[in-house]
Amino acid sequence: MTRISFAAVGDLLDESALSLGEGGVVLPGFARELAALLIAAVDEIAAVAPFRNMVTPGGFRMSVAMTNCGRAGWMTDRKGYRYAPDDPITGRPWPPIPALFRRLAANAADAAGYPGFEPDACLMNLYEPGTRLSLHRDENERDMTAPIVSVSLGLPAMFLFGGHQRGDRPRRIALESGDVVVWGGPLRLVYHGIAPLAEGEHPLTGRRRVNLTFRKAL
Indicate the pTM of the whole model: 0.92
Q: Which residues contact 125 (CB under 8 A, 6 or more apart)?
A: 64, 65, 66, 133, 210, 211, 213
Pick among 2.60.40.10, 2.60.120.590, 3.40.50.150, 3.65.10.10: CATH of 6-215: 2.60.120.590
Please give the sequence-ordered ranges of beta strands (E in DSSP) within 48-186, or none if there are none: 65-70, 73-77, 80-84, 121-127, 133-136, 148-154, 157-161, 171-175, 180-183
User: Which of 4, 18, 22, 1 minimizes the C-alpha distance to 186?
Assistant: 22
pLDDT computed for residue 2 by the predictor: 33
Binned at pLDDT 50, 70 and 90, residue 7 comes out as very low
Binned at pLDDT 50, 70 and 90, residue 13 comes out as low
> Could you read off the pLDDT of 74-108 as tens digits, one per residue?
999 999 999 999 999 999 999 999 999 999 999 99
Q: Which residues contact 164 (CB under 8 A, 6 or more apart)?
A: 189, 190, 191
Instruction: Return the number of other C-beta atoms located less than 10 Å from residue 211's C-beta.
Output: 22
pLDDT computed for residue 23 by the predictor: 97
Instruction: Return the number of other C-beta atoms located less than 10 Å from residue 166's C-beta.
Output: 12
Q: Which residues contact 103 (CB under 8 A, 6 or more apart)?
A: none
Q: Output Rg (C-alpha) for the chain, integer angstroms.
A: 16
Task: For the chain, give every domain's residue range.
Answer: 6-215
Q: Alpha helix locations (H) across 19-132?
A: 35-48, 99-111
